[in-house]
Structure 1
Amino acid sequence: MTQGPLGRLAALRPSPLVEQATERLREGIADGTWPVGAKLPAETALAASLGVGRSTVREALRALAGAGLVQPRQGAGVFVIATQPKEDWATQLRRAAVTDVYEVRMSIEVEAAHLAALRRTDEDVRALQDALAGRRAAGSADNAAFVDADIALHAAVVAAAHNPVLTGLFAQFVPVLRTGLIDMLDLLGLRTADPDHGDADHAALVDAVVAGEPDRAGRTLRDELAATLERLRTV
């Protein structure tokens, strides 16, 4: 007698059952047992085949739906919509080219600089001045420490915008940006002759924000980031 797709599933071991059920169903989707567009068997059939309860199957299907592999349709069942799980935002950033991330960074930070010049407080001014001093102090440090000080200054500008969404987005970009900037400095040797590389541009940025000049702040930051982006494209 010919077995259907359910005959290809093996019984599970009595350990984290939801995780095992999720993985077994994921494997069935990946190997074509249930191709895109196919309807999965009913919960009762899946539960019997896997040797678990319906509640375990239900949780596994929820996990697959969260990964973007299946989609429940009211009154129709659960259908396969993809064979590979969707990547979350953090994973996409880790896999993205640093130049792509930098282009988005420019949009976020230029707007942040504009808002910072309008919203900065006395506390923000002190934080910006301290961050600029920290960047200058890192001129004698290695490239990694210098990049950390540079990012801290940019983070202070974003913080002065007082927009938690901008702050959160910038924080997610930092790991990719840090790696790309360190690689750029290592490969191009930009600090060999100029240990405080970019100091004038960053001083001008801080001055524009402190002076409350949003257009100048945005323009100054855009020019500085655009120059760095061009260098990154050569790495």
Structure 2
Amino acid sequence: MPPLRPSPLAEQAADRLEERIRAGEWPVGGKLPGEVALAKELGVGRSTVREALRTLAAAGMVHSRQGSGVFVTADRPAAGDWAARLRAAELAHVYEVRTMVEVQAARLAAERRTAADLTAVDAALAARRAAGEADDAGFVAADIALHTAVVAAAHNPVLDDLFAQFAPVLRDHLVALVGLLGLREADPHHGYASHEQLVRALHDGDPEAAGRALAAELAATRSRLLGSR
């Protein structure tokens, strides 16, 4: 297969895998190749493959069996699946649910984060800072990658799956919103300070500070969403 376009990689990877499942390359009951093999075929990293597989799992198409691999459970997304509901919802409503999910994830992450998690979150924060020089799509992708790293540090696979469903919807809407509201005109690193506070709270192992930092950031964005109507 040809390599995927640069962005958004996980969404494209999920679409490509879904196409191959639909085509019967991996029949229902069959086992998918391992993460390393899929990453090589798609031309992406293993973390991108994992996010794509979470998206397919949430749509009811695959299921991971610990120690055995990932198996195909359906050749079509479940009717009325969660992803479709999210795509049809108003972004302000999505943000209300996102806040409930992510704030709790941040609290858990502050309690459960490992040294590897902190390294990943630090790298994601640095990448978000560097993305201040990128276009709006690149900046939003880096922002979502940081939030994904925080959710992953909570070590709860259900939260991982929920956020994997939010990510594509948020990416599409936020790219448009950043441009519409001119959020980066005065500061190309928009929101960096609040995200830095969140990461510091994770390092400090402070669940309440982590929850407060993220709740304030998401509330500010939701306020802008409502004000843009």
AA aligned opposite 1:97 = E
- 2:222 pairs with 1:229: yes
CA distance in 1, matches of 2:160, 2:152: 6
CA drift of 1:193 comes to 1.1
Distance (Å, rounded) in 2 between the aligned partners of 1:182 and 1:232: 13
Gaps of 5+ in 1: 1-85
1:85-141 Cα shifts (integer Å, max 9, x gaps): x72212111111111111100000000000000000000000010000000000011
Size of the aligned set, in residue pairs, is 151
Q: Alignment partner for residue 186 of structure 2, among 180, 189, 193?
A: 193
Aligned mate of 1:172, from 153, 165, 177:
165
Question: What are the superposed Cα offsets for residues 10-42 of structure 1, whole Å, 9 maximum, x if unpaired?
Answer: xxxxxxxxxxxxxxxxxxxxxxxxxxxxxxxxx
Measure the CA separation in 1 of the matches of 2:174 and 2:223: 12
State the TM-score, normalizing by the size of structure 2.
0.64
Distance 1:112 1:88 in 2: 23
Give the equivalent residue in structure 2 for 1:134: 127
| Superposition deviation, residue 232 in structure 1 | 1.4
CA contact (8 A) 1:180 1:232 kept: no
The answer to whether structure 1 residue 161 and structure 2 residue 154 are counterparts is yes
**1:146 aligned to 2:149?**
no
The structural deviation recorded for 1:234 is: 2.6
Identity %: 61
1:102 paired residue among 95, 103, 118? 95
CA contact (8 A) 1:184 1:231 kept: no
2:176 counterpart residue number: 183
| Rg larger in structure | 1
Structure 2 residues not aligned, in runs of 5+: 1-78
TM-score (norm 1): 0.63
Amino acid at match of 1:129: D
User: What's the Cα RMSD here?
Assistant: 1.3
Paired letter, 2:226: R
* Runs of 4+, deviation exceeding 3 Å: none
